[in-house]
């Protein structure tokens, strides 16, 4: 069983699951289906929201904290460069996904699949780099006052969005990922956030993926 060392690892698993879901959905896109295109763009809106905010939190909250605690400047600089490449690929994929909603053809779906695949290549490389070179160290400083302050800052920055976040992390998660989440967040809190605040995610996004099973 994978030992989830930080919340970051749990989040990365959710990013990877969605990449696989988009690839499968776009490969089997029904030609001319406005309904399916709209569903996929709805799921895409959540995906890019989670990706943008996760990386912004790293750059503005967590990485400054890591440097304060002794992380090498060159590491976060390198990771920041990867963020820039990821953002460029995300913008390209977003543009193509919007075209699919306006023209729900298999040709557009093929184009979207390629663009999301390119994003996936950049993102997967970045996630692997972060997990190999940053996660082992960051796992050792989780209980520091600086990290506790950083976690509070993130919660404040996303007040009102925690239910969607938790529901997204749980959607399709295996036992290992669920256990990892509950190591980082008290299980009763996970249950409460998923129950009511997470309802909109389950209605609008989780159904997009359940429709293709």
Residue range 88-134, pLDDT digits in tens:
999 999 999 999 999 999 999 999 999 999 999 999 999 999 999 98
**Does the structure show a pLDDT above 80 at 142?**
yes
Averaged pLDDT of the chain: 93
Q: Residue 213 above 60 pLDDT?
A: no
Calculate the CA 157 to chain-centre distance: 16
Q: Which two tokens stand for residue 31?
A: 């030609």
Per-residue pLDDT, averaged over 173-201, amounts to 94
Q: List, in order, residues 6 or more apart from 200 with CB less than 8 Å away.
A: 163, 164
- Residue 1: what pLDDT? 40
Task: Flag whether pLDDT at 2 surpasses 80.
Answer: no
CB 28 within 8 A of CB 212: yes
Q: Determine the pLDDT at residue 72.
A: 87
Could you give the CA distance from residue 29 to residue 113 in angstroms, rounded to a whole number? 10
Residue found by looking up tokens 């306006």 in the block: 102
Percent of the chain with pLDDT over 70: 97
CA dist., res. 187 & res. 65, Å (int): 26
Which domains does the chain possess? 7-210 (1.20.120)
Q: How far is CA 191 from CA 136, 145, 170, in A?
A: 28, 27, 10
Asked if the model's pLDDT at residue 153 lies above 90, the reply is yes
pLDDT tens-digit series, residues 22-78: 999 999 999 999 999 999 999 999 999 999 999 999 999 999 999 999 988 888 899
For residues 4-31, give the mean pLDDT. Answer: 94
Q: What is the pLDDT of residues 160-180, one digit of tens each?
A: 899 999 999 999 999 999 999
What pLDDT score was predicted for residue 3?
62
Q: Tell me, what's the pLDDT at 211?
A: 73
SS3 (DSSP) at 29: coil
- Alpha helices, DSSP H only, in the chain? 7-27, 34-57, 63-68, 73-102, 106-133, 135-138, 145-157, 162-170, 175-184, 187-195, 199-201, 207-210
């Amino acid at each position: 069983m994978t030992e989830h060392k930080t919340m970051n690892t749990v989040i990365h698993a959710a990013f990877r699951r969605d990449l696989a879901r988009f690839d499968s959905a776009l490969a089997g896109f029904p030609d001319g289906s406005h309904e399916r295109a709209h569903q996929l763009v709805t799921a895409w809106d959540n995906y890019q929201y989670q990706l943008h905010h996760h990386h912004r939190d790293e750059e503005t909250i967590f990485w400054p904290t890591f440097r304060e605690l002794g992380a090498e400047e060159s590491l976060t600089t390198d990771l920041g460069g990867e963020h820039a490449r990821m953002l460029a690929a995300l913008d390209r994929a977003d543009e193509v996904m919007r075209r699919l909603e306006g023209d729900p053809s298999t040709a557009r779906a093929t184009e979207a699949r390629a663009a999301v695949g390119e994003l996936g290549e950049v993102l997967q490389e970045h996630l692997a780099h972060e997990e190999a070179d940053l996660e082992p160290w960051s796992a050792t400083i989780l209980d520091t006052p600086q990290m506790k302050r950083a976690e509070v800052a993130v919660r404040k920055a996303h007040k009102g969005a925690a239910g969607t976040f938790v529901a997204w992390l749980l959607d399709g998660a295996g036992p290992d990922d669920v256990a990892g989440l509950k190591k980082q967040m008290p299980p009763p809190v996970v249950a409460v956030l998923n129950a009511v605040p997470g309802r909109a995610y389950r209605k609008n996004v989780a159904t997009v993926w359940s429709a293709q099973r």
